[in-house]
Amino acid sequence: MKFISKYRRHKFATPVLLLVALSALGFTFSAATAAPNQSAAAASARSTLIEEGKEIFLKGCSSCHGLNAEGAAIAPALIGVGAASVDFVVATGRMPMQDMSQQAMRKAPVYNEEEVAALAAYVASLAHGPRAYTNEEIEWERDGNTAEGGELFRNNCAMCHNFAGQGGALTRGKYAPTVMGVEARHIYEALITGPQAMPVFNDKIITPEEKLSIIKWIKSAEAEPALGGASLGRVGPVTEGLLVWTLGLGLLIGIAVWLTAKAR
Amino acid sequence: MSKELEPLADPGLPEHVHRKADIDPIAAKRAERQVAVLFSLSAAGTLLFMYSFFFIKEDLFVFIPVMGNTNAQQLGIGLGVAFGLLFIGFGAVHWAKTLMPDQEVIAYRHTLRSEEEDRGEFVKAVKIGAEEAGLGRRPLIKRSLFAALGLAGIPAVVMLRDLGPLPGNSLNETNWKTGTKLVTDPGERAIKASDLEVGGVAQVLPELAPGKKRTLEDIAKDAVLLIRLRPVEFQLTAERLSWTHEGIIAFSKICSHMGCAVALYEQTTKHLLCPCHQSTFDVTRAAKVIFGPSARPLPQLAITVDADGYLIAKQPFTEAVGPSFWERKS
């Protein structure tokens, strides 16, 4: 206490005290307001996103999937499917469905990226499920291995999606779509969620690195030029055979007719 | 007698019509030029081939209507060879048709049988030849010749051996033994039951003893598809249900029809489809055939888990995997 009484009339006492008091006030204020403000801002942004998503859901999806995404006779429940599923089916235009046919097909997306993110946030808020990915997160170019990806593709994907990734027929009008021109994040999300008839390939069965390899192989197949020009759909002997049997045989018949025609 | 048929008069040959090139020297000259042009096109084709092979960059693509972007070198090589060969043929045919002699020749038919006299002469000549060769007098030559001729036929028979050896029991056996671990294909990682989620599949192979190398023949018999469903979805007999583990069921991937790899699993319908002939199997009913030409369900592999939780085979396949064969037991 002697210390205080000795210096309290010192000429620097007032400015120092003022500085200390002000800094203490400032720090307390920033500690009290800034930190909770940040998380509160994020939380409120997320809840706004969820609110927006719910809005879109109620307008665009609930007639089939139910007001609380609980599902109905014509559509499955979406509780627990996660943001990955929503991002895959909505951003590729598969949902909302064009018609109640065998399978939702790829088309121009109805919702833009922000609306998809909002919908995904809403569905993800219902229950835990696989999260959505961005294309930047999926570093297939850096971490993938094309040769390994090819082996994985032939073993796990080629039976449905065709050995050149062109897609193929399944039973009763269903089909496996082509994987050419699909965004990396959608391939990744399809693998982890198993949309529609496709089975799930989770990270224990096909590791995340192996998934990147598969994507890298798909991208390399996509970039492969058609040396012969017309690739005839890259589906192998069916179109090639059709061409040979019609155009090729027709040409041969024409030559045979010319050979036996008498010159005038 | 008026109804008696008149023998049909021989109409004879139609009058020979001369070609333009036969009667008109200008037309002949024109035909000559046409043939020369066709042969020159062939030469141009060969030159195009040489040029494309040596001078066109292999990554150059050109746009061709209908065909799309086409590799210029491949196109040049293909067209060059095609023109080179085709136009030689076209030229030769056009030459023969327009300029080569155009007489009509009559070939009369005769009886095929030779004159009695010639036939007698032939028999006599053969007899004299045999006499002079002395086969009757020299039995050693005769026997050794027949022996050599007979032996010469054997290699053809011996080469049939290359069709074998017979498969023995190998068609009835796979590398799945009691306690064999299931490993991923490719990757060769052991799988825990918890690794597979409902709706998921895994392509698996039996873990091989250390040092043993996996061959294509092994994979052709061992390939297995692992599928996880909700246990309530199964409609199996008690025995087959005991072959599953917490909803995980394993089937041979080799189609019981023609041996294609059956792995088109539809998560929505729980159907397995063979891509070759569309045989469809219902996974919930032990791969019962519900469509297509296959005669038998896919063999089911009994699985369980070991002490560490890894999936293992409970027992080997109880029947031969893959398509039917004569000695098949079931």
Model confidence at A37: pLDDT above 60:
no
Q: What's the pLDDT band for B120 if we cut at 50, 70, 90?
A: very high
- What pLDDT, on a 0 to 100 scale, did the predictor assign at position B2? 60
- The CATH number that applies at residue A98 is 1.10.760.10
Model confidence at A190: pLDDT above 60:
yes
Between A75 and B3, name the one with better pLDDT.
A75
In a domain, A26, yes or no: no
Q: Are B203 and B254 in contact (CB under 8 A)?
A: no
Domain boundary among A71, A99, A132: A132
For residue A192, the enclosing domain spans 135-224
Q: What's the pLDDT band for B330 if we cut at 50, 70, 90?
A: low
Per-residue model confidence as pLDDT tens digits over B253-291:
999 999 999 989 998 899 999 988 999 999 999 999 999
The answer to whether the Cβ–Cβ distance between A229 and B71 falls below 8 Å is yes
* Pair (A47, A98) in one structural domain: yes
* Pair (A189, A202) in one structural domain: yes
* Pair (A92, A176) in one structural domain: no
In a domain, A119, yes or no: yes
Mean pLDDT in residue range A104-131: 89
Query: Which of residues 273 through 302 in chain B touch A, CB cutoff 8 A?
Result: 273, 275, 278, 280, 291
In a domain, A213, yes or no: yes
The answer to whether the Cβ–Cβ distance between A202 and B200 falls below 8 Å is yes
* Pair (A96, A118) in one structural domain: yes
Mean pLDDT in residue range A91-106: 86
In a domain, A120, yes or no: yes
* Pair (A151, A120) in one structural domain: no
* Pair (A139, A219) in one structural domain: yes
Residue entry with tokens 């246990």: B231
Model confidence at A39: pLDDT above 70:
no
In a domain, A18, yes or no: no
Query: Which of residues 87 through 146 in chain A touch B, CB cutoff 8 A?
Result: none
The answer to whether the Cβ–Cβ distance between B273 and A171 falls below 8 Å is yes
* Pair (A51, A107) in one structural domain: yes
In a domain, A4, yes or no: no
Q: Are A56 and A118 in contact (CB under 8 A)?
A: yes
Closest CA relative to residue B20, chosen from B140, B102, B107? B102
* Pair (A197, A127) in one structural domain: no
Domain boundary among A132, A164, A187: A132
This prediction's pTM: 0.75
- What pLDDT, on a 0 to 100 scale, did the predictor assign at position A213? 95
Mean pLDDT in residue range B308-328: 90
* Pair (A68, A139) in one structural domain: no
* Pair (A118, A49) in one structural domain: yes
Model confidence at B1: pLDDT above 70:
no
- What pLDDT, on a 0 to 100 scale, did the predictor assign at position A253? 96
Mean pLDDT in residue range B96-110: 87
Measured between CB atoms, does A262 come within 8 Å of chain B?
yes
Give the closest-approach CA distance of A57 to chain B in angstroms: 24
* Pair (A127, A142) in one structural domain: no
Domain boundary among A111, A132, A153: A132
In a domain, A55, yes or no: yes
Out of B20, B192, B266, whose CB is closest to A170? B266
- What pLDDT, on a 0 to 100 scale, did the predictor assign at position B45? 97
Give the closest-approach CA distance of B263 to chain A in angstroms: 6
Nearest CA in chain B to A76: B268
Out of A151, A227, A264, whose CB is closest to B186? A151
Model confidence at A263: pLDDT above 90:
no
Q: Half-sphere exposure of B88 toward its Cβ, with a 13 Å CA cutoff? A: 8
- What pLDDT, on a 0 to 100 scale, did the predictor assign at position A41? 66
Which residues, 6 or more positions from A70, have their beta carbon under 8 angstroms from its beta carbon? A77, A79
Of B89-93, B167-171, B194-198, the least confident: B167-171
The answer to whether the Cβ–Cβ distance between B271 and A168 falls below 8 Å is no
Domain count, chain A: 2
Per-residue model confidence as pLDDT tens digits over B35-93:
999 999 999 999 999 999 999 998 899 998 888 889 999 999 999 999 999 999 999 99
In a domain, A66, yes or no: yes
Q: What's the pLDDT band for A178 if we cut at 50, 70, 90?
A: very high
Mean pLDDT in residue range B297-320: 93
Between B304 and B209, name the one with better pLDDT.
B304
Q: Are B247 and B230 in contact (CB under 8 A)?
A: yes
What's the distance, CA B246 to chain centroid? 43
Model confidence at A168: pLDDT above 70:
yes
Report the percent of chain B where pLDDT is more than 70.
Answer: 99
Q: Interface pTM (ipTM) of the complex? A: 0.71
- Residue B200: helix, strand or coil by DSSP? strand
Report the percent of chain A where pLDDT is more than 70.
Answer: 94
Give the closest-approach CA distance of A236 to chain B in angstroms: 14
Q: What's the pLDDT band for B297 if we cut at 50, 70, 90?
A: very high
